[in-house]
Amino acid sequence: MISEEENKGLSAASETANNGPGLSQDPMPEQAEAPVGAGSPADEETATIPAPPAPVAPPPQPPSPPAAKGRDKDDDGGEEEDEEEEMLRMSFLEHLEELRSRILKALAGVGIAFLFSIIFANELWKIISEPAVEALTQLGYENTKLAQIKPMEAFTTVWVKLPILTAIFLASPWVLYQVWAFIAPGLYRRERRWAAPFVIFSAGLFILGGLFAYFVAFRFGLTFLLGIGRNINIAPVVSITEYFDLFVNVTLGIGLVFQLPVLIFFLTLLRITTPGFLLRNARYAVLIIVVLAALVTPTPDVVNLMLFSVPMCLLYFVGIFAGYLLELRRARRRFPWKVVWMTSGGLALVAAAAVYLAVTRFGYHLEPHWPFLVR
């Protein structure tokens, strides 16, 4: 006889068999429902494994902020990417065309200065021949005039060569500007700001070199050369062509030598050399300067050699100082200009007081040429 509990169990089993296992409620809410008709333990275990999560894409990287315009990549003043983009990219033929254009413009400036100078050719020749007249007078020669050997000599010298020389000095700022304009596209934007100082100082030094040659170097050299045969029965007959050629060589040579500070500064600007390197090798530079002065000097005596070499050495150290100022600017440091100007002003006042005492109490007077203060 079947008990009541057994009857209930048989009824539940019969109901499960009729309805199927997929309709029964899952006692675990976390597990997924088994598919209909699955009865093996392996299928039930596979059905309970959750599906792997889908791969998540990494978040996009934030865009890097643009570099500030005009700011270096490092603190050492390296090249700047934005300034490299501003540099003009030119082909070889474009460079040749630019060079041709700058040469034509420079020649046009010299031509205009030549037309202006030829108007005052006679007055200019009187100024140029004045050192010869003074040297011959000082040496005691009666004939103080220059000689014309060939019929065309006076015309080619006074009306052609002399205006060309004058035009070169007058148009030197324009010519140097054309030089800068040709090389400026290959420089960085911050380096192009040196255009005005380059033109002003280079042209000023060139003209200053010409004045130094006229008032100091050429006069001393000419007096020495003309006085060699004074006591051995030699009377000088100076041709205007030979005189003017010597004048051109000395004047242009010293004018170019006075460009030494600009050359040193430019080499420092392009990072080809440094002020420290030039200062450490100053003894070799002085030797080279003395050799060059011996080649440029019209006379072999020591006095004229010193007149050429000493200013050249001073210009060399001026160039080193200019390069040092550039290095300070790159390092964002300042030079103590206030102390320098105060010291220079004090020295100038002392020199002015000494000149005043020499003129008023010791009988000296000023002259427009070297040594400027004579008794």
The domain tally of the chain equals 3
Instruction: Please check whether residues 276 and 350 belong to one and the same domain.
Output: no
Of the listed ranges 78-82, 171-175, 370-374, the least confidently predicted one is 78-82
In the structure encoding, which two tokens stand for residue 295, read together? 């080649």
Q: Residue 45 falls within a domain, yes or no?
A: no
Q: Is residue 156 pLDDT above 50, yes or no?
A: yes
Compute the distance between CA of residue 269 and CA of residue 343 in angstroms, rounded to an integer: 28
Q: Which residues of 287-311 are buried (b: 16+ CB within 10 A; e: fewer)?
A: eebbebbeebbbbeeeebbebbbeb
Mean pLDDT of the region 279-285: 88
List the one residue out of 258, 275, 256 whose CA is nearest residue 315: 258
Instruction: Please check whether residues 207 and 301 belong to one and the same domain.
Output: no
> Which residues is 374 bridged to in the sheet?
365
Of the listed ranges 1-15, 105-119, 304-318, the least confidently predicted one is 1-15
Residue 374 is inside which H or E element, if any?
A: strand 373-374
3-state secondary structure of 144: coil
Task: Provide the mean pLDDT of the chain.
Answer: 75
Do 181 and 105 meet the contact criterion of CB atoms below 8 Å apart?
no
Do 286 and 329 meet the contact criterion of CB atoms below 8 Å apart?
no
Q: Residue 69 falls within a domain, yes or no?
A: no
Compute the distance between CA of residue 259 and CA of residue 133 in angstroms, rounded to an integer: 30
Q: Residue 74 falls within a domain, yes or no?
A: no
Q: Residue 1 falls within a domain, yes or no?
A: no
Do 313 and 286 meet the contact criterion of CB atoms below 8 Å apart?
yes
Confidence of residue 115 (pLDDT cuts 50, 70, 90): very high
Q: CA–CA distance from 165 to each of 132, 252, 314 (Å)?
A: 18, 9, 26
Instruction: Please check whether residues 312 and 351 belong to one and the same domain.
Output: no
In the structure encoding, which two tokens stand for residue 48, read together? 């309970």
Instruction: Please check whether residues 354 and 247 belong to one and the same domain.
Output: no
Q: Is residue 285 pLDDT above 70, yes or no?
A: yes
Q: Is residue 267 pLDDT above 70, yes or no?
A: yes
Instruction: Please check whether residues 284 and 364 belong to one and the same domain.
Output: no
In the structure encoding, which two tokens stand for residue 266, read together? 């430019």
Query: Which range, 5-9, 145-149, 304-308, is most confident?
Result: 145-149
Q: Write out the DSSP string of 182-206.
A: HHGGGS-TTTGGGHHHHHHHHHHHH
Instruction: Please check whether residues 245 and 132 belong to one and the same domain.
Output: yes
In the structure encoding, which two tokens stand for residue 350, read together? 């002392």
Instruction: Please check whether residues 247 and 135 belong to one and the same domain.
Output: yes
Q: Is residue 180 pLDDT above 90, yes or no?
A: no
Instruction: Please check whether residues 158 and 266 belong to one and the same domain.
Output: no
Q: What confidence score (pLDDT) does residue 99 get?
A: 84
Q: Residue 13 falls within a domain, yes or no?
A: no
Compute the distance between CA of residue 333 and CA of residue 294 in angstroms, rounded to an integer: 40
Mean pLDDT of the region 6-35: 48
Confidence of residue 249 (pLDDT cuts 50, 70, 90): confident
Confidence of residue 77 (pLDDT cuts 50, 70, 90): very low
Q: What percent of the chain has pLDDT over 70?
A: 71
Do 314 and 308 meet the contact criterion of CB atoms below 8 Å apart?
no
In the structure encoding, which two tokens stand for residue 193, read together? 């700001």
Instruction: Please check whether residues 208 and 276 belong to one and the same domain.
Output: no
Task: Using the Cα atoms of residue 322, residue 328, residue 332 and residue 334 in order, give the sign of their dihedral.
Answer: negative
Mean pLDDT of the region 180-187: 75
Q: Residue 75 falls within a domain, yes or no?
A: no
Of the listed ranges 152-156, 198-202, 286-290, the least confidently predicted one is 198-202
Helix axes 121-139, 162-170, angle to 10 degrees: 110
Instruction: Please check whether residues 125 and 197 belong to one and the same domain.
Output: yes
Q: Residue 30 falls within a domain, yes or no?
A: no
- Name the residue range of residue 279's domain: 259-335
Q: What confidence score (pLDDT) does residue 71 get?
A: 44
Compute the distance between CA of residue 99 and CA of residue 79 in angstroms, rounded to an integer: 26
Q: Which residue has the higher pLDDT, 124 or 292?
A: 124
Q: Residue 228 falls within a domain, yes or no?
A: no
Q: What confidence score (pLDDT) does residue 29 get?
A: 45
Instruction: Please check whether residues 138 and 265 belong to one and the same domain.
Output: no
Do 106 and 114 meet the contact criterion of CB atoms below 8 Å apart?
no
Taking every pair of C-alpha atoms in the chain, what is the biggest distance, in angstroms? Answer: 174
Mean pLDDT of the region 339-358: 85
Instruction: Please check whether residues 329 and 350 belong to one and the same domain.
Output: no
Mean pLDDT of the region 68-95: 53
Mean pLDDT of the region 240-260: 87
